[in-house]
Chains A and B, each alone.
Chain A
Amino acid sequence: MTAQAPQAAQAGPVAQPRKRLMKHPRSRFAGIIPAVLLAVGMLLICEVLVRAFALPEFVMPAPSAVFEVLFTQQAQLFAATLVTAEEVAYGFFMSAIVGALVALVIARFDRFGQALYPLVVLFQTVPKIALAPLFILWFGYDLAPKVTLIVVMAFFPVALNMLVGLQSVDPNLVALLRSVGASRTEILRRVQIPHSLPYLMAGLKVAVTLGVIGAIVGEFAGASAGLGYMIQFASTQMQTSLVFAALIQVSVLGLIFYYLVELAERHYIDWIPRPNA
């Protein structure tokens, strides 16, 4: 290997793959440029239309007004964001744990799994948003009802994806391991769980966006702080610019959580070749 390295640096054709790797970050930014241009263009059109029709700010604020609020009231917005972020973080964490446990139990214990799985699916058909007032009634106005709502909303994609991962291992490999005396738990630990991690990550990405929705809905149902609370409060006060500003803040929060999950995925699951990575 060491003898080959300098050779590779000299030889043109061999060095080419490295060049292409170097290009990656640049091409990634290049890929964003059209989207940014489009977004800016749409905002400009919006701005022009609002001004041209002289729409009142409480109906449709101009983008410039929204951005102004976004900066002038950032302290207030940021405090609300922290509250919501905490709910999402706890809720997401709990969803991941509950979802993974449900998947593991179903995969490991056949009988119990057969009993549990239909119930989990049945539960999934319940409109979870409708449970929000109930959780407020049970757990009060603080963190607990929001976390509960998020878990109830977000554990299912985690469980389902991980279960698919656990059950999609190569049956020949499982047969091989069983034949040499590996126990169910050992096969689960050595093969099925690592194999399921990319699937789990796909589930977590869905869960994290559901987590943000869950937090906002939870705050709509009853809260004294947070971005959802702020959106509701501001809209009753006709502070439509603030509503939009909070909306932007929520979206950015969701984006950050999503990329944190993706970052974790890239870090922990490095054995899967990714296109466009």
Chain B
Amino acid sequence: MLLSTILTPAMTGVQSPARVASVAASPAVPLASPDAPHIWARGVSMDFHVAGRTHRVLHNVDLQVPKGGFVSLLGPSGCGKSTLLKLLAGLLAPAEGEVSVGGLTPMEAVRQRRIGIIFQEATLLPWKTALQNVEMLMEVTDKRRPRAEIRDRAREMLRLVGLEQAEDKRPSQLSGGMRQRVSIARALALDPEVLMMDEPFGALDAITREEMCDFLLEIWQRTGKTIVFVTHTIDEAVFLSRNVVVMGTNPARVIENMPITLDYPRNEDTYAIPAFGQTTAHLRRILKEGHRQGHSNGRSA
């Protein structure tokens, strides 16, 4: 907080690598230390211009994600959670504020393949097999890598997501859950430090979704990636995350950053733990309040 107040005058413009470097160099944030957040956002705001009007989709958002953490961005539609994720993933640049992923700007980090992105739709190429889809990003980023090596790596990733039997299948022959697994394998193939997931299970049925949650926790435990996970499902957020960042609308902002103290590994029994119910109930309450407050704000404005 102190740091951000010191830096605020310098943070009005668009971020630049030099500015991030100066933050990294300042003694107050020793980025090398294990306590330093892997990903952080400070004072981030974002506007969209639609038909000549400016809509503020994010207002002064602070966020910290520790290395190896699992943070969910939870909120109703229109709270800017997907926008925040896109800012963290370097797909958008913030209007105000700064974002850092491992000491780099997100765009730098993506270019250096430190960020894997997974969307709600698996965004696979329908004319390619599961294996070829996993190979695709490697082919783009690693032009000089031998074909056989790319193939081996893709096979390894399909094995990791439990789809070694389906490598010759086209996306249309796979179920929604399997397609999303291929998409995750494709992201993991580049060995990123961070997985940014934008409602990745939102298009799946409830049963498949819970299966995928188990699967994702397993992947997380095995690979130790930092995961940022956007969702509007409260149970999903609590079940998966170490921290749930609750976001509200009007203006889109962070309402609360809530640590989830349930022990890992989590499984079916986790849903039955009283603390799980209490946590989800608390989140439901603040989401409702945030929503109501947001609405009344909207009316008075």
Residues of A within 8 A of B (CB): 1, 170, 172-173, 175-177, 179-182, 186, 190-191, 194-195, 269, 271-273
Contacts and interface: CB of A to CB of B under 8 A. Distances in A.
A78 to B, nearest CB: 40
Nearest to A180: B141
Contact of A173 (B111, B115, B123): B123
Interface in B169-189: 170, 172
Nearest to B170: A271
A170 B172 contact: no
A204 B117 CA distance: 37
B140 A177 contact: yes
Contact of B140 (A170, A175, A181): A181
Interface in B101-118: 107, 110-111, 113, 115, 117
Interface of B: 89-91, 107, 110-111, 113, 115, 117, 119, 121, 123, 125-127, 136-137, 140-141, 165, 170, 172, 190
A6 to B, nearest CB: 18
Given A186-B140, A271-B170, A271-B172, A181 B111 contact: yes
Contacts, number: 50
Given A186-B140, A190-B140, A271-B172, A180 B113 contact: yes
19 contacts: A1-B165, A170-B123, A172-B123, A173-B123, A176-B117, A176-B123, A177-B140, A179-B115, A179-B117, A180-B110, A180-B113, A180-B137, A180-B140, A181-B111, A190-B136, A191-B125, A271-B126, A272-B172, A273-B172
Residue from A186, A190, A271, A273 having most chain B Cβ neighbours under 10 A? A271
Nearest to A172: B119
Closest CB pairs A-B (n = 10) = A173-B123, A271-B127, A179-B110, A172-B119, A182-B140, A271-B126, A180-B141, A170-B123, A175-B91, A194-B127
A177 B136 CA distance: 9
A179 B87 CA distance: 12
A58 to B, nearest CB: 56
Given A272-B126, A273-B172, A179 B90 contact: yes
Given A186-B140, A194-B125, A179 B119 contact: no
B249 to A, nearest CB: 23
Contacts of A273: 172
A179 B89 CA distance: 9
B141 A179 contact: no
A170 B120 CA distance: 12
A194 B136 CA distance: 14
B150 to A, nearest CB: 14
A179 B91 contact: yes
B111 A180 contact: yes
A273 B141 CA distance: 31
B87 to A, nearest CB: 13
Nearest to A272: B126
Given A176-B117, A180-B137, 20 more contacts: A1-B165, A170-B121, A170-B123, A176-B119, A176-B137, A177-B140, A179-B89, A179-B91, A179-B107, A179-B115, A180-B113, A180-B140, A181-B140, A182-B140, A190-B125, A190-B136, A191-B125, A271-B127, A271-B172, A272-B172
Nearest to A175: B91
Contacts of B136: 190
Contacts of A172: 119, 121, 123
A176 B110 CA distance: 9
Contacts of B115: 179
A205 B170 CA distance: 26
A186 B139 CA distance: 11
Residue from B90, B126, B140, B165 having most chain A Cβ neighbours under 10 A? B140
